[in-house]
Amino acid sequence: MNNFKNTLMTCQNCKMLIMVKASDWSNGKIQCSHIGCGYVNILSSHYYYSENITQHLPEFGKLVYTNDPSHEYFLKLGKNIIGLAEDCDVKLERFIHNNKCFISRRHSTIEVIFDKWTGLFRYRISDGTKDTLSSEFRKSLNGTKINDLLLKENEIVDIPNKGIINIGGMDKFEVSPYIIPEKVLSTYKVNITFDEDSTQ
């Protein structure tokens, strides 16, 4: 720890650079100071996991329809557009309630992120998507909820463990995270060394 030099890291939430000091490192965490973020980044004092691990995994988690768990929708690493349109990354069924479907063609976006400090995947959701032609952000018609809390426009939140996503008000899904086996994780462990004369 005596050789630790202040270093920059990317906030795991807002993706902005933050300065990590020796005291932060010894505490094992640092809170992002950027306005509107405040995310507590977990740090490892000895190692992290190489992101190369994501090139060799069979899956990255899935959405499971709570009314009928046989309906599973696999997620990819990065942004997943959820909806009814053919060009969606996750194309849902047209679930009908009282002769209506409440899911939009391009309803919401789930981003799957590998957290190199914990070796776990994070699942972040927002209501709506970018329009393919105009690149403008368009919200869904009937909204998206997490544990019955309606997401605000442009709001991006982490999906909590066992969190229930309500898409359109009628259809609920649970994110089933992919847990990387410990034996696999250990082969991608990178020991951290610091050069006392340089700042990363």
**Would residue 188 count as lying in a domain?**
no
Phi-psi region at 45: left, alpha or beta (left = phi > 0; alpha = psi -120 to 50): alpha
pLDDT in tens, 90-146: 999 999 999 999 999 999 999 999 988 889 999 999 999 977 677 778 899 999 999
Q: Are residues 37 and 68 in the same domain?
A: no
**Would residue 37 count as lying in a domain?**
yes
**Would residue 197 count as lying in a domain?**
no
Angle formed at CA 191 by CA 50 and CA 115, multiple of 5 degrees: 35
Q: Are residues 7 and 75 in the same domain?
A: no
**Would residue 181 count as lying in a domain?**
no
Residue 193 confidence class, pLDDT cut points 50, 70, 90: low
Q: How many CB atoms sit inside 10 A of residue 166's CB?
A: 21
pLDDT of 44 reads 61
**Would residue 134 count as lying in a domain?**
yes
pLDDT of 3 reads 56
pLDDT in tens, 9-46: 878 888 788 888 878 877 888 899 888 888 998 876 57
- The shares of helix, strand and coil residues in the chain, as percent rounded to the nearest 5, are 10, 40, 55
Q: Are residues 70 and 146 in the same domain?
A: yes
More confident residue, 129 or 198: 129
Q: Which are the contacts of 125, defined by CB distance < 8 A and separation ≥ 6? A: 108, 109, 110, 111, 144, 146, 151, 156, 157, 159, 165
Q: Are residues 79 and 111 in the same domain?
A: yes
pLDDT in tens, 134-154: 777 889 999 999 998 999 988
**Would residue 198 count as lying in a domain?**
no
Distance CA 31, CA 92 (A): 37
Q: Are residues 42 and 130 in the same domain?
A: no
pLDDT at residue 200 greater than cutoff 70: no
Predicted model pTM: 0.76
Domain residue limits at 165: 55-176
Q: With b meaning 16 or more CB within 10 Å and e meaning fewer, what string describes 85-111?
A: eeebbbebeebeeeeebbbbbbbbbbb
Helix (H), strand (E) at residue 17? strand 17-20
Distance CA 196, CA 187 (A): 27
